[in-house]
Amino acid sequence: MTNSQSTKTATESADVLVLGAGPAGLLLANLLQRAGIDCVLLERADRARVETRARAGFLAPNTVRILDRHGLADGLHRHGQPHGVCEFRTGAGRFRLDYGTLGRGERHTVYPQQDLVTDLLRHYLEAGGRIRFGTEALAVHDAMTSAPSVTVRETDGRPARWRARYVAGCDGRHGAGRRSLPPGAVRHRRDHGISWLGLLAQAPPSLDAVGYAVHDRGFAGHMARTPDVTRYYLQCERGTGAGAWSDERIWDELDTRMYAAGHGPLNRGPILQRGVVDFGSDVVEPLRHGSLLLAGDAASLISPSAAKGANLAVLEAELLAHALVADLVHGDPGALDRYSGQALAHIWRAQEFSLWMIRLLHREPSAPIGESFFHESLRFSRLESLRTSRTQQDWFAENYTGV
């Protein structure tokens, strides 16, 4: 039990309200708490849901460095697995990139996002952090003043209001932070027209590498999560329902697209989770609107092709924590304005690489009739450069592991 269960009143307050207990909100709240800033986390879901929601798994070296810097990396050092190889499969064969020895010589750490979230939550609660589960932020009010407030719906359905000096919107793509942006906030968007069926299978990994299959029937991907659980992706038609494909059809399709001579069928097992991801990217500019600040998916949505979302969320949370501490503890009023520019530089670079990956792995869905051959040829030429050019491989490795 935490001090989250304090007596309820219609209006409560904190210096900083953090909306959302994902990687962004939890890291931010940990860092503010350590700096002695009075903050409260408001999270719509219950604790069990927050600790079991499986999403990302590939942590960039910079993410590990950030978590190390703040003594929050104990779990990932105990259970995470270093990973530095990816394998591309096409009708013409397969090739592997030992990206951990290319570029800056850095590797990913495979550690499920829900385990990272569980670790961050444990550290926060052990330090006396305040969190309200089952509390949905409805809207941020008076964001352009120095006395913003957030209206919420509590677990029992009762409305309440929280007052603060700052509100950090870390509540993802559909959260109240984004919904409450003042007029004039710009959301740059792009719909890539591509969809993936994202699957989590109770099955040991079938490759000792990340697998990217570039097939005529569409993309298929393989990413280890734990020794018994593997994430798979299958490109599907836009509009496909998550339950439209039977388990058997999924495994047959994965076997077809990921086929490589001399390599047997994939290890099959029950599909634990499935969901459709429509590839869209967007960036909110700026990330500061008066007293409302955005971080993580709330600031920018990035398609999962390059595994950047959770890593950006961690990086932005550290930048935002520094800026809030500079403002609230050291009286530096310019720090929060600088946060936006600093975070956006990283976001656009990650967006650029992610788009490059999308174009590498997928048929161009919007190519006009007559131009698809042109696009396909460019795609295979891109893959061929990656297979044969050391310069291109170094560039790939640096961007693949970096944020």
What CA–CA distance (Å, rounded) separates 36 from 17? 14
Residues 176-215 as x/- pattern, contact with ligand RFL by CB under 6 A: x---------------------x-----------------
Q: Tell me which stretch binds ligand RFL (CB under 6 A): 9-17, 55-63, 213-221, 324-332.
A: 55-63
The CB-of-60 to ligand RFL minimum distance in angstroms stands at 7
Q: Which is nearer to ligand RFL, 240 or 372 (CB)?
A: 240
What CA–CA distance (Å, rounded) separates 54 from 273? 9
Q: Which of 45, 85, 185, 276 binds ligand RFL (CB under 6 A)?
A: 45
Is residue 129 at the binding interface for ligand RFL, with CB under 6 A as the rule?
no
Is residue 400 flagged as an active site residue?
A: yes
Catalytic residue among 289, 304, 339, 362: 304
Q: Which is nearer to ligand RFL, 51 or 247 (CB)?
A: 51
Of the chain, the end-to-end C-alpha distance in Å amounts to 36
Binding-residue total with ligand RFL (CB under 6 A): 35
Q: Which H or E run includes 247?
A: helix 247-257
The answer to whether the beta carbons of residues 297 and 19 sit under 8 Å apart is no
Q: Which is nearer to ligand RFL, 198 or 402 (CB)?
A: 198
Tell me the CB-side half-sphere exposure of residue 27, using CA atoms within 13 A: 30
Phi/psi-derived region of residue 170, left when phi > 0, alpha when psi is between -120 and 50, beta in every other case:
alpha
186-201 vs 229-236, strand pairing mode: antiparallel
What CA–CA distance (Å, rounded) separates 356 from 288? 28
Tokens read off for 48: 């069990």
Q: Which of 31, 72, 137, 203 binds ligand RFL (CB under 6 A)?
A: 137
Catalytic residue among 111, 212, 233, 339: 212
Residue 38 CB coordination number (10 Å)? 14
Q: Which is nearer to ligand RFL, 24 or 102 (CB)?
A: 24
Residues 289-328 as x/- pattern, contact with ligand RFL by CB under 6 A: -------xx------x--xxxxx-x---------------
Q: Which of 17, 44, 111, 347 binds ligand RFL (CB under 6 A)?
A: 44
Give the type of residue at 169: G
Is residue 112 flagged as an active site residue?
A: no
Is residue 168 at the binding interface for ligand RFL, with CB under 6 A as the rule?
no
Q: Which is nearer to ligand RFL, 97 or 121 (CB)?
A: 121
Q: Rounded to the nearest 5 degrees, what angle is found at the Cα of 263, between the Cα atoms of 259 and 267?
A: 80
Is residue 308 flagged as an active site residue?
A: yes
Is residue 8 flagged as an active site residue?
A: no
What CA–CA distance (Å, rounded) separates 75 from 98? 26
Q: Which of 56, 121, 214, 326 binds ligand RFL (CB under 6 A)?
A: 56
Is residue 259 flagged as an active site residue?
A: no
The answer to whether the beta carbons of residues 213 and 258 sit under 8 Å apart is yes
Q: Tell me which stretch binds ligand RFL (CB under 6 A): 44-52, 66-74, 244-252, 282-290.
A: 44-52
Tokens read off for 3: 């001090």
Catalytic residue among 192, 308, 346, 362: 308
Is residue 100 at the binding interface for ligand RFL, with CB under 6 A as the rule?
no
Per-residue exposure over 53-86, b if at least 16 CB sit within 10 Å of its own CB, e if not: ebbbbbbbbbbbebbeeeebbebbeeebeebbbb
Q: Which of 24, 64, 143, 168 binds ligand RFL (CB under 6 A)?
A: 24
Least Cα distance to 314 among 204, 227, 403, 242 occurs for 403
* Cα separations in angstroms, 237 against 25, 160, 240, 244: 33, 42, 6, 11
Catalytic residue numbers read 83, 212, 304, 308, 400
Residues forming the site for ligand RFL (CB under 6 A): 19-25, 42-45, 50, 55-58, 113, 136-137, 170-172, 175-176, 198, 277, 296-297, 304, 307-311, 313
